Structures are given as C-alpha cells and as structure tokens.
Structure 1
Amino acid sequence: MGSNEYLSAIWAVGQIIQDYDTDKMFPALGFGAQLQPDWKVSHEFAINFNPTNPFCSGVEGIVQAYSNCLPHIRFYGPTNFAPIINHVARFATQALQQDTAAQYFTLLIITDGVISDMDETRHAIVQAAKLPMSIIIIGVGNADFSAMEFLDGDSSALRSYTGEEAVRDIVQFVPFRDFRNAPKETLAKSVLAELPQQVTQYFKQRNLSPSNTKPE
C-alpha cells in the first residue's frame, strides 16, 4: 500500500478535528519504521525529526512533515501502538491537576491494521481511560481490522491483560475505506461519533466545569 491513502486520511480526518485545537499546533509522531543513520526500528519518533519540538502547524504542516520524512525512513515491523499511547498519556497525566474542564487530549492513529503489541496496547488504553484523553483510530487499506474493532470496545468493555476493565470507552475506530467516495460530512459524523460524549463524560466524572478556553 502506498503512502497516498495515509496522506488522504491525514487530510480528510485532520481537517475535521483540527478546529477543536486552539493553536492548531499538533505533535506528529511516527511508529513502525527504521530510521537513519543506523536504521534502528523506532516505535515513537517525531516525523519532523525534531524530538524536542515535534509540533506541526495545522494539517498542512503534518502533511508536509510526513511527505518530507518518507524518503528517510523504511516502514518496518513490528507495529506497536502502546508507546505512542503512553506518550500522549504522559501529557494527559499532567492535565490531571486542572481545576476546570480546560484540557483534553485526542490521539489520532492512522494505521494499516497490523498490530503487534495487543496486550500492551490494551493495558495502555485501560490506563488512559482514567485520563482526559481519547483515541481515534483510522484504518487505511484493505487489511483485517478486527483487532481495531476489538479495541473500540463498543460491544463490551475493554480489559487489560491484568483483568482491569476500562472505566470508560475512549477509542473510536473508523475504517477509511468505507468513506472513500462519501461526502466529508459522512466521514466527520463517524470520526466524531463518540468524542463529544467521551469528553463530557470525563469532566462530569471529575466534577469539572468548562473554562473560557477550548479543550486541546
């Protein structure tokens, strides 16, 4: 599968969700690739190759950084989700100190459906469910997405390998192939189907009222 579908997904979904961020500066991370100069496999790297400042300006900045990084990496397994989820969870953990409903983090994962660390990912999601955080997974290509649908947890509560149950559902899975020829509004409805409820549910559980700023 070429990069075009990844780019299409970045454009389409990014334009839907970017307006929910006030400054539109997005940290963009890659995983499942070998990086120069020694071609070691990385499961968590800034696609602009600036780990101290992985932020991209708007969807255009993400697309530019992604396009620029492609010639310098080799896609390589295994594909692990847990490091990326835990990366964002560290930021969300810092937001636990807030006394108003001001900060909420949304991790957008674009993947071809292959996942190698299911146990670790389940555990990471169960822990992240306690934080001001949601995960939107966009599946590209024609792979078997049963693992993604399992993580979505719509049919039953997701459990960690330790048996701990997620306190709330924070994952929304969207197969991009179902929306290739659909209007933007149809894709938007699916991408955002659960996010507003997830945000309000979290802040209600914490008894936090909205501030004057929009959530991140």
Structure 2
Amino acid sequence: MFYRGIPGKNCGTIIIKAEELGNCRESVLLQFCGNKLDKKDFFGKSDPFLIFYRSNEDGTYTICHKTEVVKNTLDPVWQAFKIPVRALCNGDYDRAIKIEVYDWDRDGGHDYIGEFKTSYRELSKGQSQFNVWEVRSVTKLSSQQVTLLSCVIMCNPSQPTSLHYMNPYQLNAYAMALRAVGEIIQDYDSDKMFPALGFGAKLPPDGRVSHEFALNGNPENPYCSGIEGVLEAYYRSLKSVRLYGPTFFSPVINHVARYASLVKDGSEYFILLIISDGVISDMAQTKESIVNASCLPMSIIIVGVGSAEFDEMIELDGDEVRISSRGRFAERDIVQFVPFRDYVDHRGNHILSMARLAKDVLAEIPDQFLHYMRTRGIKPNLSPPFYSSKPLSALALPAHPLQTQI
C-alpha cells in the first residue's frame, strides 16, 4: 500500500505491508555467543551485537530483534532473550531468518562484521552440531563463528493452539494418541500397571528441568493403573509442571534400557511407547541410545502427533537404513514409527481407523521380538511357573506428554 503526502510536495513515502498472522502462540528463549569475530576498532577490539531479521513473503526482510552490545571482545556471550515465534518466522518453521553481526560505534555508524541465515526449525534442534554458523563477510574469508548456546521453547497448554490444550469437551492430540495406542498394546501386560514418564518440563517446587520424570509425581513408584490411570496422571502433571524445551529422547530410552539390561533369560520383553510432536533436540544421543538398546529385550514405538514433518522420526524407524552411531550399527531394527494424523478418520469411522492404527503399530513388534529370542537361543516355556505374574511381554509406557510443539 502506498500513501503520498501533499500534492506538489515531496513528503516522502510510507509503505505498509501486511501478512496474515500464523496460528502460533509459543515463545522461545535463545542465547548466542560469538567466536573469533573480526576486529573493527583501531584501539581495542570490537563491540559486537546481533540484529535478527524475519523474511517476508515478498523476499524482503524485517528487523525483529536486536541484542545488547558486548563491549571490547571478539568472543562475546550475549544475554538470553525471549521472543515470540510469530516475530521470528510467523509460525513458518522453515522460513529463513537472517542474523547480521555488527561492531557498535558511538556515532551510529556501526561496522558490518558479517551475517548468516538459519530457520526456526534449525534453531529448535537446540545445542547440536548444526547450530554453529560461519559468519560470512563480503570483504574477506575468516574463521569467525556464532554458536547457539541454548534454545528453550515455551508452550502454554492453556492455549487452544497447543497440542496439550485441555479441552473440557474432547481429548487433546496427546491424550487421543495415548488412549488409542495404549488400548492396543495394554493387553500384552498382565497386571495393567504401567510406568509412565514425561520429559521436557520444569518440576515443582524448585523449577528443576527434567527429561525423565514420573507423571504421577512419585519417582519411587511411577506405575499407573491402566491407560486411564496414565491419562489421569498426564492431566494432573499438566497442572503442576511447566512445559520446557528442548526435547530429549535419549533419557527415557536409557531409562527403559537399564531395566531391559537386567533381563537375560527372555522372561520379559519391554515395549517403550513415545508420543511426540516431531522435534528431537538430541538426535545424535538418541541414535546412540537406540544402537545400545538394539541388543536388549525391548522395542520402541514412536507415535507422531500434530502436523509437523517427521523426517527425524522416519530416520529413527530404520526400515530403509539401519540406525548407526559412531561407526556402530544397530544389531536389529527396534523402532516402529507411525504418524497419528494418518489414522484420524474425519468421517467418524473410529473403529476402522483404530483397526488400521493397531495393525501398523504392531506390524514390526512380533518380528523384533522373535528375532531377539531366536538369536539368543531362547525358547518359549510350554508350562510357565505358577508364580509368574508377568507374561513374556512386559509393557513400559513413558508417554512423553510434556514436550514442545513444532
């Protein structure tokens, strides 16, 4: 839109651009540091600061944040700052974010040091090998870098846009997936007592961040009675904890693996159900945990909720390329991934859609179980001891209801 002033006088031009706001109400807490930035001041070093630009639909950029100036250093550590995700990318996680680095000057003629581009999806991976950027300058090549020190995603379950929204009239995405999948696999556990864990939250009373906490609030006895008990613990935890990113998978995988490693005789087999929204901030550690667990009596079912891309989940599934870490390949495929949205029948045929879900959730578990038993020469007992209270398959259910939305 163009608006011009008094006819016959050059009063300048005001350009107004509009863009529809994305349906995204989360915020993110970011902190960056620099390394070996260019020296711009004749006396002293540099006084660097960052300017963040959101890319627009027409290819232009708009300033959305400036950091404070860190005086006289080439290795600055800027203070953490909170910014709405709408301001960074308007809810489009793959939209380019440009970050420029400047040396502050008192007269306002700040010296350009360099720039780099990223995206909110990349930032949300947290501290990883992908979040160290080379700061490119138009004048010369250099080794200057900017590193993301932390990325904390802040979600509010009271907002209707949250996947954890507690709607009084219907189940949210996590609860719906938990009930649907849980009711499928709960019949493989004899006493229907499930240990349920959450991850990605600050816990009361001191705000400690945890990626491996008991949903029922009792770390000494995290067991819940049936899927309804898990759902009840999930809803209670939403009222008592504060959702907090980034999202780490490896702690809960290692948690179940510790118990599975104690079973050598084939008397128990563990199934870990993870319900997630698509982001993994510790991908390298998660791969290593899966590789380590592939020799244990356990399988992992990952159910993706929401509308995000699930590229990392598909990679963990390992159907086409076996998962590897540090040159070691998984002994066997133990991960099955299903996107829950593919099984929601909007025509209301709940029975048919859940039947399809049950088929795909359990598609690989029998072969994974048999492969483990056969490779270890474990044969089924024809007459199990009368005192055995568990069947051959024990179900562990860390449900991951407390993580960030992407």
Q: TM-score, normalised by structure 2?
A: 0.51
Contact 2:216 2:222 in 1 (8 A): yes
Runs (5+) with no aligned partner, structure 2: 1-161, 165-171, 346-351, 385-390, 395-406
Distance in 2 (alpha carbons) for counterparts of 1:74 and 1:190: 33
Q: Where does residue 2 of structure 1 map in the other structure?
A: 163
CA-based RMSD of the aligned residues comes to: 0.9
**Which of residues 186, 195, 207 in structure 2 aligns to 1:39?**
207
Q: CA deviation at 1:31?
A: 0.3
Distance in 2 (alpha carbons) for counterparts of 1:189 and 1:124: 26
Match status 1:150 vs 2:315:
yes
Contact 1:22 1:214 in 2 (8 A): no
Distance in 1 (alpha carbons) for counterparts of 2:221 and 2:371: 31
**Which of residues 152, 175, 188 in structure 1 aligns to 2:358?**
188
Q: Where does residue 105 of structure 1 map in the other structure?
A: 270
Q: Where does residue 257 of structure 2 map in the other structure?
A: 89
Give the letter for the 2:245 counterpart: G
Match status 1:207 vs 2:385:
no
Q: Which runs of 4+ in 1 moved over 3 A?
A: none
3-state SS of paired residue (2:301)? strand
- Greater Rg by CA: 2
Distance in 2 (alpha carbons) for counterparts of 1:203 and 1:183: 32
Contact 1:106 1:135 in 2 (8 A): yes
**Which of residues 53, 56, 63 in structure 1 aligns to 2:231?**
63
3-state SS of paired residue (2:194)? strand
Q: CA deviation at 1:143?
A: 1.1
3-state SS of paired residue (1:109)? strand
Q: CA deviation at 1:184?
A: 1.3
Q: Which has the higher strand share?
A: 2
Contact 2:189 2:393 in 1 (8 A): yes
3-state SS of paired residue (2:324)? coil
Encode CA deviations 1:88-143: one digit per residue, 9 max, x unaligned: 000000002x2xx3210000000111110000000000000000000000000011
- Identity, in percent, stands at 56
Q: Where does residue 132 of structure 1 map in the other structure?
A: 297
Match status 1:169 vs 2:333:
yes
Contact 1:137 1:171 in 2 (8 A): yes
Q: CA deviation at 1:144?
A: 1.5
Q: CA deviation at 1:39?
A: 1.5
Distance in 2 (alpha carbons) for counterparts of 1:2 and 1:137: 16
Q: How many residues align?
A: 212
Contact 1:102 1:210 in 2 (8 A): no
Distance in 2 (alpha carbons) for counterparts of 1:205 and 1:139: 31
3-state SS of paired residue (1:108)? strand
Q: CA deviation at 1:156?
A: 0.9
Q: Which has the higher helix share?
A: 1
3-state SS of paired residue (2:261)? helix
3-state SS of paired residue (1:26)? strand
Contact 2:211 2:252 in 1 (8 A): yes
Match status 1:17 vs 2:185:
yes
Contact 2:280 2:312 in 1 (8 A): yes
Encode CA deviations 1:4-37: one digit per residue, 9 max, x unaligned: 1000011000000000011111100000111111
Q: TM-score, normalised by structure 1?
A: 0.96
